[in-house]
Chain A
Amino acid sequence: MDLPSEPTRSPHVAEPDGEMRPEDLLLEVARGSDAAFEQLYTRIAGPIFGLALRVVRDHDLAQDVAQEVLGEVWRLAARFDPARGTAMGWILTMAHRRAVDRVRREEVRTATITKEAATWVTTDHDVVVDQMERQWDAALVRRALGTLTPTQREAIELAYYRGYTHQQVSTVLDIPLGTAKTRIRDGLIRLRDVVGVEK
C-alpha cells in the first residue's frame, strides 16, 4: 500500500514543520521539479482519487480520472494563480469537474436519469480507505452536512456526489428549478458558516 505521508487537511490549516504548502509545491512543480510533484502527489492523490471514486462510482474509471487530473496538475502548474484561490481549491475543482464530465458523458450514452435517485446509496465504497487521512475532514463535513435541512442536504448530495446538474436535481426531486438553485446555494452558505466556526 502506498501510504500517504500524513493526513491532508485544509489548505488553511498551518502545515507541520518541514512540510511545504501545496501552493509552494505547485510553484516548484511549475519549474519542472519531479521531487516537488512527488511530494504534492502524496498530499493530493488520495483526495483526487477518493473524490473521483465517489462521483464516478467505478474503481477503474476513478483511477483513470485521477491519473488524468494528476497529469493536468503537472502540465498546468504554471497556470495556477494564488491570487484566485488556494492550490487545493484549484486542484480539487479540476478533479470534480473531470469526474462529473465523465459521469455526464456516460449518462448521455445510457440515458439513465430517472426517479430512481430516491433510493441512491450514499456510502458505497467498500475499498480500503485510509481512515487517518479522511477522518478529520469527514467528521467535520458530516457534522456540517447534519446541520442542513434534509432538503438542502439532498440537493447538495445529488449535485456534488452524483454529478447532477441543477436541472436534473429539480427533475429528480420534483421541485421547481429556482428552488433547486436556492437549496444548493443556501446549503453551501450554511456549510461555509459551520465549517468556518469549527475551524
Chain B
Amino acid sequence: MTNNPHALTGAYLLDALDATERASFEVHLATCEDCRTEVASLEEAVVRMALAEAVTPPPSMHDDVMARIARTPQAPPSPERPVPLPAGVTSLAGRRRRAPRWPAIAAAAAVLVVGVAAGSTVLNDRRHVLQVEAAQATVLRIMSAPDAVSHDVDLGAAHVVMSAEMGAAALMGQDVPMPTDNDMVYQVWMMHSDGSSAPGPTFMPEHGDVTAIVKGDLSDVYELMVTVEPHGGSTVPTGQTVTTIEL
C-alpha cells in the first residue's frame, strides 16, 4: 500500500499498478480532484505512445472480429452513467469533469455494499452518492488496517483484502465473467470451522469489475466461498460454488 497516492498518477496511466493498488487508487481518484486533473492531462501522451505502435493486423482478423460482433449482444448504457460524482467532488447538478475510469469501481462498490444486484435497483442519486462514499471509506479502511492481508481469488483477476480486527473484507477484481445463468448473481459466504456459514453480500460484475464488502466476525472464518444464487441472495448457499478462498 502506498502512503502517497498522488504520486501514482503516472503508474496508474501506464497500468503499472497491481489489482489492489489500482482499486485503491481509483477509490482515491474519486475523491481527489488534483489527481483527476493530472490523469486527464497526461492521458494524451499515453494515447500517443499507443498510436505510435500501430501495426496492420492480419487481414483474417477483420472477418473474425465482424463474426464475433455479429453474435455479441451489446451492453446497455452503464447504470452509473447518469449518476453524478460523489458529493463534495463536484456539484450534483452540472459540471461533469473529465474523470476517466474511476467511477466503475465506486458505483460498483455502492451498489454492492447494499447487497443488490447491479442494475436491478434504481437508487436515487443522493442515496447513491452516500453509498459510494461509505463504500470508498470502508475499502480504504480495510486496506490500511495494520492486520490487512490479501488473497488471490480465482474469479477473473480478483483478490480479497481482509482485516480480522475490523471484521471486514473487500473482494475486488477485474475481468470477472457474468454468472453463466442470466438469472443468478454471485454471493459471498463466510465459512466457519464448525461447518456453519454466514451469508455475505451479492455482487455482479460491472464492466467486469467487482467490489463486494463483507462484514462480520472473521476470527473463526476459515474460508470465504463464492456461489451463484438467485437475485436478492440466499440465507444458506444453494447454488453452484464458483470459488473458495482459503484464509
Contacts and interface: CB of A to CB of B under 8 A. Distances in A.
Interface of A: 1-4, 8-12, 30, 32, 34, 37-38, 41, 45-47, 49-51, 53-54, 63, 66-67, 70-71, 74-79, 81, 83-86, 88-90, 92-93, 95-97, 100-101, 105, 125, 127-130, 133-134, 137-138, 140-142, 144, 156, 159-160, 163-167, 169, 178, 180-182, 184-189, 191-192, 195-196
Contacts of A142: 52
A196 B43 CA distance: 11
A71 B69 contact: yes
Contact of B17 (A83, A90, A160, A166): A166
A71 B68 contact: yes
Contacts of B96: 83-84
Contacts of A70: 65, 68-69
Nearest to A184: B10
Interface stretch (B56-64, B181-189, B195-203): B56-64
Given A78-B76, A81-B81, A11 B49 contact: no
Given A10-B48, A78-B74, A78-B77, A184 B14 contact: yes
22 contacts: A1-B56, A11-B44, A45-B61, A67-B61, A71-B72, A75-B72, A76-B207, A83-B98, A84-B98, A85-B100, A85-B101, A92-B51, A93-B15, A96-B50, A128-B56, A130-B54, A140-B52, A159-B14, A178-B4, A178-B7, A185-B11, A188-B46
Given A188-B46, A192-B44, A85 B75 contact: no
B160 to A, nearest CB: 17
Contacts of B56: 1-4, 46, 49, 128-130, 133
A86 B43 CA distance: 9
B173 to A, nearest CB: 11
Given A188-B13, A189-B10, 11 more contacts: A2-B56, A2-B62, A34-B69, A34-B70, A51-B50, A79-B81, A85-B40, A130-B54, A165-B11, A192-B45, A195-B48
A134 B16 contact: no
B78 A79 contact: yes
A4 B66 CA distance: 16
B41 A169 contact: no
B148 interface: no
Contacts of A66: 57, 61
A155 to B, nearest CB: 9
Contacts of B98: 83-85
Majority secondary structure, A binding face: helix
Contacts of A140: 48, 52
Contacts of A125: 55
A84 B101 contact: yes
Contacts of A9: 51
A187 B10 contact: yes
A10 B96 CA distance: 23
Contacts of B41: 192
Interface in B1-38: 2, 4, 7-11, 13-18, 21
A97 to B, nearest CB: 5
Given A100-B15, A188-B45, A49 B69 contact: no
Contact of B48 (A32, A75, A137, A159): A137
Nearest to B156: A101
